[in-house]
């Protein structure tokens, strides 16, 4: 009798050269997944791949700049060709830059929208096409609690993340009809190279491994919203229902004094 080994589950994570993406990749590989990791810094992806040698699963690097739509389609196709059908996609690539509102200009907003919003769209398009054909698949889009409402200095970042949340809300029921489950991941502050450069105290800051655990556990369920840390998420949800007069009375106080 020939015994066929069950197929190892395959995930694709973008923005996995450091921070949240890399921690989630290691967590999934520790659980036996094969994980295709993408980012621009190829050396860091190779390091991650070497780190996975001690784990049950494995990490395979695919260099990718998510602002290049054609390259995103090619990367997705290359992963499937080499590794098989992808079960789970985590679209996490992103960046943050504070914008001084009184010096508001096109370039920083364009950069944030190109990477955070359009970079996700560039990957989502080929993934949705294939998952709908297959009538199967799990997708997690990493947005942010900063996308729940407009916050001072966050006019570009917040807009890109609010756009992602809205897009996920729109897509979720349509994809559900196709047996494709899409979730929106909205973290609060997580200690990563991105937040290490923040000069201000970050409320409810959590470490990257805790964030990775919350994401992996959240994606095991079918729920739409994967948000953490819980107390910060409750505060941001409460802010969402405040009328504008009350909301601006609070956020005006958070405008940095040097602005």
Ligand X SMILES: NC(=O)c1ccc[n+]([C@@H]2O[C@H](COP(=O)([O-])OP(=O)(O)OC[C@H]3O[C@@H](n4cnc5c(N)ncnc54)[C@H](OP(=O)(O)O)[C@@H]3O)[C@@H](O)[C@H]2O)c1
The footprint of ligand X (CB under 6 A) covers: 14-21, 39-41, 64-67, 92-96, 115, 119, 142, 144, 187, 189-190, 192-195
Q: Specify whether the CB–CB gap between 146 and 157 falls below 8 A.
A: yes
CA distance 111 to 117: 10
CB of 43 to ligand X, least distance (A): 9
Q: Which is nearer to ligand X, 17 or 155 (CB)?
A: 17
Of 148, 157, 234, 244, catalytic: 157
Sheet of 88-91: strand order equals 58-63, 34-39, 10-14, 88-91, 137-142, 180-187, 225-228
CB of 204 to ligand X, least distance (A): 10
CA distance 154 to 139: 26
* Helix H or strand E encompassing 107: helix 106-112
CA distance 116 to 164: 8
Q: Which is nearer to ligand X, 178 or 195 (CB)?
A: 195
Identify the residue whose tokens are 């054609």.
Answer: 70
CB of 100 to ligand X, least distance (A): 19
CB of 137 to ligand X, least distance (A): 20
Q: Specify whether the CB–CB gap between 216 and 27 falls below 8 A.
A: yes
Check if 148 is active-site: no
Q: Please compute, for residue 62, the number of CA atoms within 13 A of its CA located in the half-sphere on the CB side.
A: 23
Q: Which is nearer to ligand X, 194 or 242 (CB)?
A: 194
CB of 257 to ligand X, least distance (A): 23
Q: Which is nearer to ligand X, 41 or 166 (CB)?
A: 41
Q: Which is nearer to ligand X, 73 or 95 (CB)?
A: 95
CA distance 165 to 144: 8
CA distance 235 to 238: 5
Q: Which residues form the catalytic set?
A: 157
């Amino acid at each position: 009798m020939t015994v066929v080994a069950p197929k190892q589950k395959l995930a694709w994570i973008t923005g996995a050269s450091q921070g949240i993406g890399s921690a989630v990749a290691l967590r999934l590989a520790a659980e036996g997944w094969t994980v295709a990791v993408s980012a621009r810094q190829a050396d860091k992806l190779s390091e991650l791949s070497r780190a996975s040698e001690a784990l049950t699963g494995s990490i395979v690097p695919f260099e990718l700049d998510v602002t290049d739509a054609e390259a995103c389609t090619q990367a997705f196709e290359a992963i499937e060709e080499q590794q098989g059908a992808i079960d789970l996609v985590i679209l996490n690539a992103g960046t943050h830059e504070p914008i001084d509102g009184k010096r508001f200009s096109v370039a920083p907003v364009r950069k944030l929208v190109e990477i955070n919003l359009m970079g996700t769209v560039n990957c989502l398009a080929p993934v949705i096409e294939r998952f709908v054909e297959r009538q199967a698949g799990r997708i997690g889009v990493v947005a942010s609690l900063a996308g729940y409402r407009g916050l001072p200095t966050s006019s570009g970042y917040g807009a890109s993340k609010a756009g992602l949340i809205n897009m996920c809300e729109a897509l979720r029921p349509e994809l559900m009809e196709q047996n494709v489950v899409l979730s929106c991941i909205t973290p609060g502050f997580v200690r990563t190279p991105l937040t290490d450069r923040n000069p201000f105290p970050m409320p409810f800051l959590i470490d990257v491994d805790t964030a990775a655990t919350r994401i992996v556990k959240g994606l095991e369920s079918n729920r739409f919203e994967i948000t953490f840390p819980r107390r910060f998420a409750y505060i941001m949800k409460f802010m969402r229902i405040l009328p504008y007069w009350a909301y601006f009375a609070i956020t005006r106080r958070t405008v940095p004094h040097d602005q």
